[in-house]
């Protein structure tokens, strides 16, 4: 075993459930079309803000759950702990695997108290945050985003979160710092040749070899000429990584 493969996820997750396709589309009908096109190539979906604003988010979520799909509700909750706890209490009847909550120790504690069977994924530091944003938020010069990511991931785990959302480039350090039980979910996944606005990217194989438990893939599937073929190619890679 190489030092890279030693970071491979040890969670008991069927390989096909390690691919989470982002339904980044404007309407439930667009989402249904994409889900139908993907068929059995994808069994886990992330529903984010764009669909939330369409107004039919939860009806679609229930429909997908009823069809046997696993769900990641990317709601990125953040408010005073009391309000986040109450929101989680309303949400926990949904059949979903993951819900995102922005970091804040007391906010995450409130979310975890009310989560029921939902897995809370902490958003530690948004990947769009750079040094200037940290200064603007009041952090002293010299505090790096990566350092905050590791500290917050450790704290989120202590609080009882199921996992964190992280750049694939941060996954290895998080895994080393927090251990195998914290789920690491990595967006920013690209086939080797892609060029778009994501900067901190990795291929599916590299993300898993860095310790990711799940990968979130949006545009490389949604915008492919053959979305199902693109998803199946990623599934083949995942099957070979976890063979």
- Is 222 in contact with 34 (CB distance < 8 Å)? yes
CA-to-CA distance for 17 and 15, rounded, in angstroms?
5
Distances (CA, A) of 119 to 36, 96, 109, 126, 155: 26, 8, 13, 19, 16
Partnered with residue 119 across adjacent β-strands are 98
Q: Which is nearer to ligand C5P, 85 or 218 (CB)?
A: 218
CA-to-CA distance for 189 and 143, rounded, in angstroms?
26
Alpha helices in 45-104 (DSSP H): 49-52, 57-66, 81-91
149 CB neighbour count, 10 Å cutoff: 22
- Is 157 in contact with 93 (CB distance < 8 Å)? no
Distances (CA, A) of 225 to 193, 220, 221: 15, 10, 9
Instruction: Compute the least distance from the CB of residue 228 to ligand C5P, in Å.
Output: 17
The answer to the question of residue 22 lying near ligand C5P (CB under 6 A) is: yes
Instruction: Choose one: 56-64, 91-99, 148-156, 214-222; the region binding ligand C5P (CB under 6 A).
Output: 214-222
Distances (CA, A) of 40 to 19, 82, 105, 162: 12, 40, 38, 26
The answer to the question of residue 127 lying near ligand C5P (CB under 6 A) is: yes
- Is 49 in contact with 77 (CB distance < 8 Å)? no
Q: Residue from 217, 230, 238, 241 that binds ligand C5P (CB under 6 A)?
A: 217
Q: Residue from 48, 168, 211, 227 that binds ligand C5P (CB under 6 A)?
A: 48
Q: Which is nearer to ligand C5P, 5 or 167 (CB)?
A: 167
Q: Residue from 42, 60, 122, 216 that binds ligand C5P (CB under 6 A)?
A: 216
Give the active site residue among 69, 70, 76, 181. 76
Q: Residue from 96, 165, 174, 206 that binds ligand C5P (CB under 6 A)?
A: 165
CA 181 to chain CA mean position, Å: 16
Instruction: Compute the least distance from the CB of residue 31 to ligand C5P, in Å.
Output: 13
CA-to-CA distance for 86 and 207, rounded, in angstroms?
34
Q: Residue from 99, 218, 231, 235 that binds ligand C5P (CB under 6 A)?
A: 218
Establish whether 70 is a catalytic residue: no
Instruction: Compute the least distance from the CB of residue 37 to ligand C5P, in Å.
Output: 16
**SS3 assignment, position 221:** helix
The answer to the question of residue 188 lying near ligand C5P (CB under 6 A) is: yes
* Residue nearest ligand C5P, Cβ-based: 218
The answer to the question of residue 198 lying near ligand C5P (CB under 6 A) is: yes
Q: Which is nearer to ligand C5P, 56 or 113 (CB)?
A: 56
Q: Which is nearer to ligand C5P, 27 or 89 (CB)?
A: 27
Q: Which residues are catalytic?
A: 76
Binding site for ligand C5P (CB under 6 A): 22, 24, 48, 126-127, 165, 187-189, 198, 216-220
């Amino acid at each position: 075993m190489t030092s890279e493969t030693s970071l491979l996820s040890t969670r008991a997750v069927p390989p096909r459930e390690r691919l989470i396709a982002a339904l980044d589309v404007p309407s439930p009908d667009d989402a249904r079309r994409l889900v139908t096109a993907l068929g059995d190539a994808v069994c886990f979906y992330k529903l984010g803000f764009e669909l939330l604003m369409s107004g039919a988010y939860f009806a679609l979520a229930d429909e997908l759950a009823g069809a046997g799909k696993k769900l990641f509700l990317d709601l990125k909750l953040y408010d005073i702990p009391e309000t986040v706890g109450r929101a989680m209490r309303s949400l926990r009847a949904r059949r979903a695997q993951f819900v995102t909550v922005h970091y804040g120790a007391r906010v995450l504690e409130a979310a975890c108290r009310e989560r029921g069977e939902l897995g809370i994924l902490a958003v530690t530091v948004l990947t769009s945050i750079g040094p200037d944003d940290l200064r603007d938020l009041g952090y002293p010069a010299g505090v790096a985003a990566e350092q905050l990511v590791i500290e917050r991931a450790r704290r989120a785990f202590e609080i009882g979160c199921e996992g964190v959302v992280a750049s694939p480039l941060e996954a290895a350090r998080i895994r080393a710092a927090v251990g195998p039980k914290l789920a690491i979910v990595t967006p920013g996944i690209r086939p080797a040749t892609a060029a778009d606005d994501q900067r901190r990217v990795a291929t599916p194989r590299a993300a898993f070899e860095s310790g990711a438990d799940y990968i979130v893939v949006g545009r490389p599937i949604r915008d492919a000429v053959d979305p199902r073929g693109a998803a199946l190619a990623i599934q083949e890679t995942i099957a070979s990584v976890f063979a």
